[in-house]
Structure formats: C-alpha cells, structure tokens
C-alpha cells in the first residue's frame, strides 16, 4: 500500500487529553497536531509538567485520548502500539531477571526460541557495551548501565517507532552525553522514527532532526517547531561548542523561556 | 573479631542462665532441693534426658512425624495462599466481597479450631496439617495479594509495551513479584506451620514432639517437658537455618543482605 508507505510513523490529530471527570478535570494537553515522519528524530521540549509524557503515552497506547486521534503508519491506534518500543524515565527492568534475561524476554512475545533469544540478547548487550555484565541483576548495575540494558531490551525487538520519556533524565551529565552518543550511533544504523521527550533543550538540539516546543500546562499546546540542520553524524559533547548550535539554541530558547517562566509562576508542582 | 566477640557474649548469656538454673536447683537456697527440682528440674538432668531420647532413637519417630506435618501444612497452606492471593488480587470484586469474611477468619484464634479438626480429620497427622494450614494460608495469602497488587506500574507498563500477553505477564511479572513476598515471609510461615503441628499434637495425638511434651506434662515430669522443649528448640533452629539457605538462593536478585520482613 503506497498510501501507508507515505504515511507518518506517528500522527497526532487535534489531540486533547483530560484527566479525571470531563467537567472540572485537568486538561493536560489540547489541540495537538504532530506528525513524525519515518526515520525522523523528533525531540519534544517544554517546561516541567506541560504534558510531554502524556503525548508519549498517547502515542504508545497507554493512554486513551479524550479528543482527537492517534494514527500509526496511517492506521488508527487501537489498544497498545505494537509497532513501538518505549524507554521509560524510571527503572522499568524486571528486578528478578539478570541483564541477559531482561533483554532476552523481550523476544518471547515474538515467539523467538529461547536459545536464539539468548544469543541475540548477548549480542545486543555487547552493542550497548555491557558484554561483561550479562549476568548481573539490575540492582548490581549503575543507573547508566541499567539504561543501557533498557535500551537493548527496547531495540532487540526491532520496533519501527521509538518512544522515549526523558530516558536519560536521572543520569549525571557525563553519562547523559555518553548515552546520547550511544543512542545516536544505534539509531544511525537503521533510522527509526523517534519521539524523544526531554526538558533539556541542549540535549534536544544535539539529538534531533526537529525540536517541538510545548507551552506551559494546563492545556499545553505546541507553540513552535524548529528543524535542526546540524550535520550528522554528530558528537553530542562537541556539537555544543559549534556556533550554529548556539544560534539555534538562542532561537528556540526565546520561545521556550516565557513558557518556562509561566510554569514557574504557577508553581512547579503541576505535574500531569 | 567482632563476630567472635558477639558469639562469646551470646554464649555467656547461655552459660549464666544455665548456671543460675543449676545453682538454684542443685543447692537448697530458696527451697529444699527436692522441691525446687520438682518444679524446675535441673539443666544436667534435662540434657541427659534429651541425650537419652536420641540414644534410644525413640525421638526420631516423633521428630519425623512433626516434620512431616510441618512440611505438609506449609506446602498446602502456601499453595492455597498463592492461588487465592492471585485470584483475589486480579479480581477486584471477589476481593471486595470476601474482604470482611477473610478478616474475620484471620482474626479467629486457631487454637479453638484444633478440637474441631480432631473431630473431622481424626487424631492422626491430618488434623495437625489442617491446623498448620489455617495459619500458613493467611500469611501467604496476604503476602501474595499485596505482592501482586503492588507490582511496580512502570515495570508492568514496560512489560506490556514489550508485547507480553496476559499469560506472559503472569509468568514474568506477577508470579515473580508474588513469589518475592512469599519468600520474604518464609521464616514466619514455616514457623507457623510448625506451631500448628506442635499445638495440634499437644491437644490430641499419639505421636510427635507436641505429644511428647504433653505426655511428660500429664505426669508432672518437668524434666521430660524441658527436654522436649530443648529438642523442639534445636529442631526449630535447624529448620530456620535451612529456610535462610533456601531464601538466599532464591532471592539473589534482591539488593542488600536479606532485607526480608520477619513480621
């Protein structure tokens, strides 16, 4: 079907999500129109509690939109998004499984035989730099290593869409850059569609093809989209030093700033 | 160094206790020796009696029966607890409907059930297994119920995003989460299985450690009672050590050295 081939990987149309009762509920996001092209890396930035994660959960099928619709490669989304992988901000590994088991189990729903799944999982753990840690349980790994396992767990299934909810948020600055580079390197191999949520504008610019800026909640909207034309392959720690980077940063920050100040004025506590 | 010191202090407590016990029962300090020995026996007599029990081999049969009852009570109780814990945790309505009845049943002192069980299941091992079951069941039930309901939502959402169906979720997420809670209450539930067995035997049977103690008590054989208690204590310590070993093997993935709840 040529129509499906042309379709966006993820398309959100006139999306609104309200928590609680219709009347007097909390509207997290409203009137969202966003399309992620196949192979495109989109970063969503916005002030704390603006509903960035809500968008992601709607795209994953974990949340049902109150208004509007979600389409995946042209088909309306029903139930969970089977074509997407999700990287959570919090630790989502099964604590009772080793790194290897955690990654291998991701292939079980696909019906891959166990032995074969283990081999593949070993290979993926090697690719994320954890070859020496396959038999460790999550609590024996550092935060960065756990994220690597989670990354391998998501990628081993070869999803067509990657949804990431501030995945590197809990990590320290150096580890974040290393993880960012690892992500770009893995992504460059087969360019999936990515929806990457972050509150760190620099991270967003360094990673993405397009940065989407959201307003402060409630009823957060998209207030700007900025294509990032920095050349690839990129090195996250070096790209920050380039004049073009600063230019883009300045431009986006100008629109983001008022929203961040608005969010602060409301008190930061308004999380969705 | 620190460990040795601790062990030394622990031994000191035992020696002091035995010494006081011995001095007051071997010498006429508070009362004539005969009288104080009738009430409190004497540590050496108790030790000798316990040794004699093992030497004649008579005690092994009783230990075996108590052990069998304990194991059966634990196995059935744990199985039932896991089954119903799962069911109730996954079916809100069922849990809500049965909530007051479960609370009432759990609040009932189990000792009052012992005569009923003896009536229903006879004086053999099954009435004791039933008593142990009623104790173990609720501990495991509440732990599994809690465990299944408190599975981390993020871990669950992640597993679902990995494409797991209900059966796979059960196997990879709910089941291990529930088992964690069962294992962390292993000490308590095994202990209660033993309590059920011994109390059951004590109240009416013809074999087992509880029977031995009751038998000695009924003829005012204080030495026999204490010897039975001594053997019971050693038995409990050995079982508890086995449980610790099993627990360490099964909960290797847990952070920290044995954060198990003993409540």
- The 10s digit of each residue's pLDDT in A30-88 is 889 999 999 999 999 988 777 888 999 999 999 999 999 999 998 999 999 999 999 99
In this prediction the pTM is 0.80
Q: What is the DSSP string of chain A?
A: -HHHHHS-SEEEEEEEEEES-TTT-EEEEEEEEEEE-TT-EEEEE-STTSSHHHHHHHHHTSS--SEEEEEETTEEP-SS-TTEEEE-SS--S-TTS-HHHHHHGGGGGGT--HHHHHHHHHHHHHHTT-GGGTT--GGGS-HHHHHHHHHHHHHTT--SEEEEESTTTTS-HHHHHHHHHHHHHHHHHH--EEEEE-S-HHHHHHH-SEEEEE--SSSB-EEEEEE----SS--HHHHTTSHHHHHHHHHHHHHHHHHHHHHHHT-TT---
User: What pLDDT shows up at residue A268?
Assistant: 53
Which residues 143-162 of chain A have a CB within 8 Å of chain B? 150, 153, 157
Domain of A22, CATH number, reads 3.40.50.300
Q: Domain of residue B110: give its range.
A: 41-250
Contact at CB, B161 and A94, closer than 8 angstroms: no
Instruction: For A247-261, write each residue's pLDDT tens digit.
Output: 999 999 988 888 888
Specify the residue for token string 């499906």.
A4
pLDDT at B133 over 60: yes
Instruction: For B17-47, write each residue's pLDDT tens digit.
Output: 999 999 998 888 888 888 888 888 989 999 9
Residues A129 and A191 in one domain: no
Of B158, B165, B177, the CB nearest to A109: B165
Rounded Cα distance between A253 and A201, Å, is 8
Q: What proportion of chain A, given as a percentage, has pLDDT over 90?
A: 63
Residues B25 and B54 in one domain: no
User: What pLDDT shows up at residue B251?
Assistant: 80
Residues B215 and B136 in one domain: yes
Angle at B146 between CA B145 and CA B149, to 5 degrees: 85
Residue-averaged pLDDT of chain B: 89
Interface with B, mutate which of A77, A86, A94 (most B CBs under 10 A): A94
Residues B47 and B28 in one domain: no
Domain of B110, CATH number, reads 1.10.3720.10
Contact at CB, A92 and B157, closer than 8 angstroms: yes
Of B157, B162, B253, the CB nearest to A95: B253
Residues A170 and A75 in one domain: yes
Residues B28 and B56 in one domain: no
pLDDT at B178 over 80: yes
Q: With respect to residue A271, please indicate whether it lies within any of the assigned structural domains.
A: no
User: What pLDDT shows up at residue A267?
Assistant: 65
Name every chain B residue with its beta carbon within 8 A of the beta carbon of A85. 161
Residues B11 and B138 in one domain: no
Instruction: For A214-252, write each residue's pLDDT tens digit.
Output: 988 788 889 899 999 999 889 988 998 999 999 999 999
Average pLDDT on B201-223 reads: 91
Q: With respect to residue B259, please indicate whether it lies within any of the assigned structural domains.
A: no
Name every chain A residue with its beta carbon within 8 A of the beta carbon of B164. 108-109
pLDDT at A1 over 80: no
Task: Single out the residue in A159, A181, A209 at which a domain terminates.
Answer: A159
Residues A98 and A153 in one domain: yes
Angle at B22 between CA B21 and CA B24, to 5 degrees: 70
Residues A22 and A57 in one domain: yes
Task: Single out the residue in A159, A185, A207 at which a domain terminates.
Answer: A159
Return left, alpha or beta for A166; rule: phi > 0 is left, psi -120 to 50 is alpha, else beta: left
Q: Which residue has the higher pLDDT, B87 or A270?
A: B87
Residues 6+ apart with CB under 8 A from B131: B73, B110, B113, B114, B117, B196, B197, B199, B200
Q: How does residue A270 score in pLDDT terms, banded at 50, 70 and 90?
A: very low
Q: With respect to residue B260, please indicate whether it lies within any of the assigned structural domains.
A: no
Q: With respect to residue B263, please indicate whether it lies within any of the assigned structural domains.
A: no
Contact at CB, B162 and A106, closer than 8 angstroms: yes
Instruction: Decide: B185 and B261 in contact? Cβ < 8 Å.
Output: yes
Residues A118 and A242 in one domain: no
Instruction: Decide: B159 and B172 in contact? Cβ < 8 Å.
Output: yes
How many domains is chain B partitioned into structurally?
2
pLDDT at B61 over 60: yes
Interface with B, mutate which of A95, A98, A103 (most B CBs under 10 A): A95
Distance (Å) from the C-alpha of residue B175 to the closest C-alpha of chain A? 11
Q: How does residue B252 score in pLDDT terms, banded at 50, 70 and 90?
A: confident
Average pLDDT on B80-105 reads: 91
pLDDT at B1 over 90: no
Rounded Cα distance between A97 and A135, Å, is 9
pLDDT at A145 over 80: yes
A114 touches chain B (CB under 8 A): no
User: What pLDDT shows up at residue B263?
Assistant: 32
User: What pLDDT shows up at residue A271?
Assistant: 46
User: What pLDDT shows up at residue B16?
Assistant: 95
Chains A–B, number of C-beta pairs less than 8 Å apart: 65
Q: With respect to residue B255, please indicate whether it lies within any of the assigned structural domains.
A: no
Residues B48 and B20 in one domain: no
Q: Domain of residue A148: give its range.
A: 90-159
The interface predicted TM-score of the complex, written ipTM, equals: 0.88
Contact at CB, A109 and B173, closer than 8 angstroms: no
User: What pLDDT shows up at residue A3?
Assistant: 44
How many domains is chain A partitioned into structurally?
2
Q: How far is CA A166 from CA A90, A99, A199, in A?
A: 9, 21, 7
Q: With respect to residue A23, please indicate whether it lies within any of the assigned structural domains.
A: yes
Name every chain A residue with its beta carbon within 8 A of the beta carbon of B152. 92
Closest CA to B117 of B200, B60, B216: B200
User: What pLDDT shows up at residue B218?
Assistant: 92
B48 touches chain A (CB under 8 A): no
Burial of B227 (0-12, 13-18, 19+ CB in 10 A): buried
Instruction: For B195-205, write each residue's pLDDT tens digit.
Output: 999 999 998 88
* Mean pLDDT lowest among A36-50, A258-272, B153-167: A258-272
Q: With respect to residue A59, please indicate whether it lies within any of the assigned structural domains.
A: yes
Residues A39 and A56 in one domain: yes
Residues A33 and A141 in one domain: no
């Amino acid at each position: 079907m040529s129509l499906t081939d042309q379709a966006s990987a993820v398309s959100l149309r006139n999306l609104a999500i309200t928590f609680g009762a219709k009347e007097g509920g909390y509207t997290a996001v409203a009137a969202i129109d966003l399309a992620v092209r196949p192979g495109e890396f989109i970063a969503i930035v916005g002030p704390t509690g603006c509903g960035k994660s809500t968008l992601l959960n709607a795209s994953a099928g974990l949340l049902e939109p109150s208004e509007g619709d979600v389409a995946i490669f042209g088909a309306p989304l029903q139930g969970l998004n089977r074509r997407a992988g999700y990287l959570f901000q919090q630790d989502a590994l099964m604590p009772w499984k080793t790194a290897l088991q955690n990654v291998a189990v991701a292939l079980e729903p696909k019906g891959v035989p166990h032995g074969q799944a283990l081999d593949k999982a070993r290979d993926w753990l090697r690719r994320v730099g954890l070859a020496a840690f396959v038999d460790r349980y999550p609590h024996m790994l550092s935060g960065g290593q756990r994220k690597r396992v989670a990354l391998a767990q998501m990628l081993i299934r070869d999803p067509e869409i990657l949804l990431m909810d501030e995945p590197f948020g809990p990590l320290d600055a150096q580890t974040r850059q290393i993880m960012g580079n690892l992500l770009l390197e893995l992504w460059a191999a087969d360019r999936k569609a990515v929806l990457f949520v972050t509150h760190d504008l620099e991270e967003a610019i360094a990673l993405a093809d397009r940065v989407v800026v959201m307003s402060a909640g409630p009823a957060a909207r998209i207030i700007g989209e900025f294509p990032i034309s920095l050349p690839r392959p990129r090195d996250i720690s070096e790209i920050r030093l380039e004049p073009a980077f600063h230019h883009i940063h300045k431009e986006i920050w100008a629109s983001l700033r008022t929203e961040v100040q608005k969010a602060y004025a409301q008190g930061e506590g308004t999380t969705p | 160094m620190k460990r040795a010191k601790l062990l030394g202090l622990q031994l000191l407590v035992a020696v002091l206790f035995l010494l006081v016990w011995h001095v007051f029962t071997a010498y006429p300090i508070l009362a004539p020796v005969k009288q104080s020995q009738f009430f409190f026996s004497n540590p050496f007599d108790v030790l000798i009696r316990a040794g004699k029990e093992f030497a004649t081999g008579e005690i092994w049969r009783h230990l075996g029966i108590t052990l069998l009852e304990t194991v059966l009570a634990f196995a059935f109780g744990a199985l039932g607890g896991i089954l119903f814990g799962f069911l109730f945790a996954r079916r809100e309505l069922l849990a809500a409907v049965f909530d007051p009845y479960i609370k009432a049943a759990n609040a009932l002192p189990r000792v009052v059930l012992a005569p009923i069980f003896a009536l229903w299941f006879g004086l053999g091992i099954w009435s004791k297994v039933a008593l142990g079951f009623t104790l173990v069941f609720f501990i495991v039930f509440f732990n599994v119920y809690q465990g299944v309901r408190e599975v981390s939502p993020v871990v669950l959402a992640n597993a679902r995003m990995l494409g797991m169906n209900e059966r796979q979720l059960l196997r990879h997420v709910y089941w291990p989460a529930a088992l964690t809670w069962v294992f962390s209450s292993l000490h308590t539930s095994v202990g209660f299985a033993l309590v059920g067995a011994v109390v059951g035997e004590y109240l009416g049977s013809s074999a087992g450690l509880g029977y031995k103690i009751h038998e000695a008590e009924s003829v005012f054989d204080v030495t026999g009672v204490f010897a039975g208690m001594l053997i019971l204590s050693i038995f409990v310590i050995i079982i508890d050590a086995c449980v610790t070993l099993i627990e360490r093997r099964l909960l290797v993935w847990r952070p920290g050295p044995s954060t198990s709840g003993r409540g």
